[in-house]
Amino acid sequence: MKVTQERLPESQVGLNIEIAPEASRNAYEKMVQNLARSSNIPGFRKGKVPRRILLQRIGNDRIKAAALEELIQKSLQDAIEQESIKALGQPNLRSNFDELLGQYNPGDAISFSVAVDVPPSIELSDYNNLSVKAEEVVYQPEKVDDFINQRREQKADLVPVEERAAQMGDVAFVDFKGILPEEENKEIEGGSATNFQVEIAEGKLIPGMVEGIVGMKPEETKDVSVTFPEDYPQEDLAGKPAIFSITLNELKTKELPELDDDFAQEVSDDEFDTFAAYKESIEKQFKEQAQNQTNNNINEAIAAALMEQNQIDLPESLVQEETTSVLTKTLMQMQQMGLDVKQLFNSDNVPMLRDNARPEAVSNLQKSLILQEIAKKEALEPNQAAIEAKIAEIRPQLAGQEVDEERLLEMVTSDLLSENTYKFLRDKAQIELVPEGSLKEAPEEQEQDSETEIETVEVEVVADSE
């Protein structure tokens, strides 16, 4: 068997395979023998069918086609092994099979061509002198106070209010029913509730509703006029005036716990004995979060610079595999959000979804391959101790779940390799940190993102009923 190679686009190798006359004859004869042993032809015992009868019943063309198909498969595998080619996915036959069948004469030499996906070759540009801009996420002490106050609100006791009217910050339990006065007082579908609990705060319910509750006393009923926002998700209500009849059943106020050692012990499940230690821990978390976000921004800027400087010819088999991975992750995220994925992931939509996921898949592959090549050149692969320590760190999070140990090892190794490589690149790069929000997406991209979010979110007419 004679094999010649040629380099093709999209990280493929073309193989021209010439099959010797003897191999051509042997493939045909072997197929005839196999069919003679396996064919059921009336009047003959299996394995005892005369050659002439077999050719008449099955047809020489069908036997030649089966022999040629098997000959191509075996010769291709032998050629890949002979040429030491690291093939990805399934090879593609470049020759026309029908034309080959017309040319195939057992005992004569025959040639065919295939295309084989191979790992892309990467010629890295200089990565030691990158210059990038990235947004700096600055630690904000007030976020610590906001977080602690949120926990304080969660632990607040609701105390009945009897001697005054409702005011902002209270918690009201109300019955309400909405109508559309311009549509003959038509009742709003989904616009009513019984003993609904709502905090009297800006942004709750339809604009104007909670403000209308202010000043009311328990057992009082009041009509509150509001107008649905122009951008209200339910189009048949957007911009329309409405009247809500509201009855205040009960009024309560929040009694917040003191920010003391008892509070710290309660919210931390006794992890911290003092409020000072608890707050110090939260401060540390927010500082680390800000630094991690800054590092992530730097990493993204470095990755973008690397991909701009290094164009990689990707094999289609890798792109398709990564596209499947991207869609699988999307599906799992949607399921975790409680969305019905069957409505989106069906036979009609999958081709479109794959097209949409392809750019992300290509970007993921390019980024990963570049990082792997740098890690290889700089010997940045994680050692066994680091891998074991990382697995031990995340193991508690996997408690109660079925764990594919091989997959876990692969993911941890890959993550650590990326961390090592990004750290190496950050130390080498010239990095200009700019204020958060100063490197924004183009307006068209922002608008497109907003439209996508609107399409995937369902909003209740007024509020979730309890």
Report which of residues 274 and 59 the model is more confident about. Answer: 274
Strand blocks (E) in 104-220: 110-117, 131-136, 157-160, 171-180, 186-199
pLDDT value at residue 16: 94
- Say if residue 82's pLDDT is above 80: yes
Q: Residue 32 — pLDDT band, cuts 50, 70, 90?
A: confident
Which token pair is 351?
A: 């081709």
Distance CA 407, CA 427 (A): 30
Q: 342-398: per-residue pLDDT in tens?
A: 777 777 788 888 999 999 999 999 999 999 999 999 999 999 999 999 999 998 888
DSSP state of 222: E
Owner of token pair 């009041």:
222
- Say if residue 456's pLDDT is above 50: no
Which token pair is 88?
A: 């990805």
Q: 187-201: per-residue pLDDT in tens?
A: 998 889 999 999 999
Q: Are strands 110-117 and 12-19 parallel, antiparallel or unpaired?
A: antiparallel
Q: Which amino acid is at 258?
A: E
300-326 in b/e form (b: 16+ CB < 10 A) is: ebbbebbbeebebebbebbbeebbeeb
Cβ of 272: how many Cβ atoms within 10 Å?
18
Q: Residue 460 — pLDDT band, cuts 50, 70, 90?
A: very low
- Say if residue 73's pLDDT is above 80: yes
- Say if residue 29's pLDDT is above 60: yes
pLDDT value at residue 43: 66
Q: Residue 446 — pLDDT band, cuts 50, 70, 90?
A: very low
Q: Residue 466 — pLDDT band, cuts 50, 70, 90?
A: very low
What values do phi and psi take at 123, rounded to 5? -105, 100
Q: Are strands 430-435 and 131-136 parallel, antiparallel or unpaired?
A: parallel
pLDDT value at residue 143: 95
- Say if residue 442's pLDDT is above 70: no
Cβ of 466: how many Cβ atoms within 10 Å?
10
- Say if residue 45's pLDDT is above 70: no
Which stretch of 311-315, 381-385, 399-403, 455-459 has the lowest confidence by average pLDDT? 455-459
pLDDT value at residue 130: 94
**What SS3 state is found at 247?**
strand
Count how many residues are written for the chain: 466
Q: How many helices (H) and strands (E) does the chain have?
A: 13, 11
Which token pair is 406?
A: 């091989």
- Percent of the chain past pLDDT 70, that is, above it, reads 93
Q: Residue 47 — pLDDT band, cuts 50, 70, 90?
A: low
Taking CA atoms, 68 is separated from 57, 62, 216, 268, 283, in Å, by 19, 10, 89, 72, 72
Cβ of 62: how many Cβ atoms within 10 Å?
13
Q: 153-212: per-residue pLDDT in tens?
A: 899 999 999 889 999 999 999 999 999 999 999 999 888 999 999 999 988 888 999 999
Q: Which residues does 462 contact at the CB level (< 8 Å), separation at least 6?
A: 176, 178, 188, 190, 191, 193, 205, 206, 209
- Say if residue 449's pLDDT is above 50: no
Average pLDDT, the chain: 88
Report which of residues 15 and 43 the model is more confident about. Answer: 15
Which token pair is 409?
A: 């090892």
